[in-house]
């Protein structure tokens, strides 16, 4: 996808991909057991492994890979304590280093969980589908447009090889979100006039530097605070609620105009990321969505989506509060289903049925939607979908030959009006 791509061509390609013929099935042949490999053994990666084990009794953790041995060991110990015999990671299948993902893929796994920092996701995903593995991958799936294009190529390979691909967009598997969006599409609030998305929360805490760490190791240990590794808050965290808005609208936006900055997290340990953003997205039907996110301590918390129609409104507030108030009033009541587990159950069930789900495109779209908002905030420019899709920004190249002593990027904090739009 290196040639210029318009939004219309992008959507047309997605429609064509959805009807491609499927190739032969790939999973644990002749066995109900599904061997799972984990790449990225931090908190979210370990959590994903737990969710996968809870989702299907036939799953076993077969291999672990991380760039840091202490993270791998802590993950293994925690998993073993909870799941005992279902954690079958022999010492020779515990891989440490930047090539650990390759060794996990070569270890005989059927399904791989890709949970390393987002900068690595495009390379890891392409390698996984080229190796014929089913994939669960955490959001976001890239931090730059080149990474998104790589992921889209990987999605096409997965479709051709009949591989399952599930991103960590758990809102899509929660009955509260599903029920609200079903009713919006059925016209219960009338024609959509506007929408709002929020992820206003506290700030993560940087990890203090330890003796012996290189500059690169320090950044990798604190990846959330570096755009080249995490993508900044709209991409790394707010992508959940941005994904909901694309889901509601049934489309990607045509343009974004944004602002942002850093007022609280100004010290060097906060890298080059902002601490607040406000983004206006315009969709093809003319509807505008105001998207707001913030990471500041001692501030009001709000993580939700609100959709306003001509005849009512609908609220989706994380996993706690849902309603539709329009032609009819609807609330789902208390929901006990765990969407973190459900997304794994849906993926594994699709694999077992021989009808593997492939959600690559939805998360690629939402990741690029978040990226275009960040690009607009950093530069002060209006960014169109086509400009973002065809942007020459390439942060993937930074991780291709990375090692512990590689020079660490020293990116300046972006300044709107001065930072160029690439």
Kindly report, residue by residue over 50-63, the tens digit of the pLDDT. 999 999 999 999 99
User: How large is the average pLDDT for residues 155-164?
Assistant: 98
Q: Residue 4 pLDDT more than 90?
A: no
pLDDT tens profile 280-290: 999 999 999 99
State mean pLDDT over 390-396: 98
Q: Which two tokens stand for residue 9?
A: 């061509």
Helix (H) / strand (E) containing 290: strand 288-295
The 3-state DSSP class for residue 294 equals strand
Kindly report the backbone phi and psi dihedral angles of residue 80, in degrees, each rounded to the nearest multiple of 5, phi listed first.
Answer: -65, -35
Q: What is the DSSP string of 232-283?
A: -HHHHTTHHHHHHHHHHHTS--SEEEEEEE-SS--SGGGTT--SEEEEEEE-
Write down the pLDDT at residue 320: 87
Classify the C-alpha dihedral 49-120-374-10 as positive or negative: negative
Span 329-339, average pLDDT: 86
What DSSP designation does 87 have? B
CB 114 within 8 A of CB 124: yes
Order of strands, sheet of 312-317, starting from the edge strand that comes earlier in the sequence: 329-330, 321-325, 312-317, 302-309, 192-201, 288-295, 276-282, 255-261, 383-384
Question: In order of start, what are the domains of the chain with their CATH numbers?
Answer: 7-170+350-358 (3.40.50.720), 172-340+368-393 (3.30.360.10)
State mean pLDDT over 389-410: 98
pLDDT (tens digit, 9 = 90+) per residue, 13-63?
454 444 333 333 444 444 689 999 999 999 999 999 999 999 999 999 999
What's the CA gap between 24 and 50, in Å, rounded?
29
Q: Regarding predicted confidence, which is higher, 337 or 97?
A: 97
- Bridge partners, residue 134, by sequence: 111
Per-residue pLDDT at 318 exceeds 60: yes
- Residue-averaged pLDDT of the chain: 94
Buried b (16+ CB within 10 A) or exposed e, 45-61: bbbbbbbbbbbbeebbb
Q: What pLDDT is attached to residue 334?
A: 76
Mean pLDDT of 284-309: 98
Q: What is the mean pLDDT of residues 374-386?
A: 99
How many CA within 13 A on the CB side of residue 9?
8
Residue 271 vs residue 30, higher pLDDT: 271
What pLDDT was estimated at residue 333?
80
Report the pLDDT value the prediction gives residue 17, as an integer from 0 to 100.
42
CA–CA separation, 177 vs 323, rounded Å? Answer: 10
| Sign of the dihedral through C-alpha 256, 274, 237, 104 | positive
pLDDT above 50 (res 130): yes
Q: Residue 295: pLDDT above 70?
A: yes
Residue with tokens 């959001």: 139
Residue 357: pLDDT band with limits 50, 70, 90: very high
Q: Cβ distance 162 to 78 under 8 Å?
A: no
Task: Write down how long the chain is.
Answer: 422
Mean pLDDT of 190-218: 98
Does residue 219 register a pLDDT over 50? yes
pLDDT digit string, tens, across residues 77-128:
999 999 999 999 999 999 999 999 999 999 999 999 999 999 999 999 999 9
Alpha-carbon distances, residue 203 vs 123, 144, 298, 299, 320 (angstroms): 28, 23, 9, 10, 21
Quick one: average pLDDT of 5-20? 48
The predicted pLDDT at position 103 comes to 99
Query: Which pLDDT does position 71 carry in this prediction?
Result: 98
């Amino acid at each position: 996808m290196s040639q210029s791509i318009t939004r219309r061509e992008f959507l047309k390609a997605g429609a064509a991909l959805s009807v491609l013929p499927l190739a032969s099935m790939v999973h644990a042949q002749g066995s109900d057991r599904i061997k799972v490999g984990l790449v990225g053994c931090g908190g979210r990666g370990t959590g994903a492994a737990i969710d996968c084990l809870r989702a299907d009794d036939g799953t076993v953790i077969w291999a672990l890979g991380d760039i840091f041995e202490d993270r791998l060991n802590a993950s293994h110990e925690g998993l073993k304590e909870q799941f005992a015999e279902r954690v079958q990671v022999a010492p020779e299948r515990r891989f440490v280093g930047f090539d650990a993902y390759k060794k996990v893929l070569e270890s005989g796994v059927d399904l791989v969980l890709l949970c390393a920092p987002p900068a690595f996701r495009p390379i890891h995903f392409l390698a996984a589908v080229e190796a014929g593995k089913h994939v669960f991958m955490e959001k976001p799936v890239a931090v730059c447009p080149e990474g998104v294009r790589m992921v889209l190529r990987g999605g096409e390979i997965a479709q051709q090889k009949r591989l399952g691909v599930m991103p960590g967009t758990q809102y899509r598997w929660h009955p509260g979100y599903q029920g609200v969006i079903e009713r919006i599409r059925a016209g219960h609030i009338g024609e959509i006039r506007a929408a709002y998305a929020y992820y206003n929360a506290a700030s993560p805490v940087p990890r203090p530097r330890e003796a012996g760490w290189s500059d690169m190791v320090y950044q990798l240990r604190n990846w959330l605070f570096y755009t080249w590794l995490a993508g900044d808050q709209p991409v790394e965290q707010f992508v959940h609620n941005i994904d909901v808005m694309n889901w509601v609208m049934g489309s990607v936006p045509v343009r974004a105009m944004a602002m942002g900055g850093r007022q609280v997290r100004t010290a060097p340990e906060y890298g080059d990321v902002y601490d607040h953003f406000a983004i206006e997205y315009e969709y093809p039907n003319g509807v505008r969505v105001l998207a707001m996110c913030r990471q500041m301590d001692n501030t009001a918390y709000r993580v939700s989506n609100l959709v306003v129609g001509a005849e009512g409104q609908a609220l989706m507030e994380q996993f706690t509060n849902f309603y539709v108030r329009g032609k009819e009033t609807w609330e789902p009541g208390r929901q006990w289903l765990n969407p973190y587990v459900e997304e794994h159950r849906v993926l594994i069930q699709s694999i077992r049925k021989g009808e593997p789900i492939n959600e690559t495109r939805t998360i690629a779209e939402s990741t690029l939607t978040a990226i275009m908002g960040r690009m607009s905030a950093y530069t002060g420019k209006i960014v169109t979908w086509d400009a973002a899709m065809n942007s020459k920004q390439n942060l993937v190249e930074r991780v291709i030959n990375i090692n512990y002593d590689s020079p660490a990027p020293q990116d300046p904090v972006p300044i709107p009006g001065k930072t160029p739009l690439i």
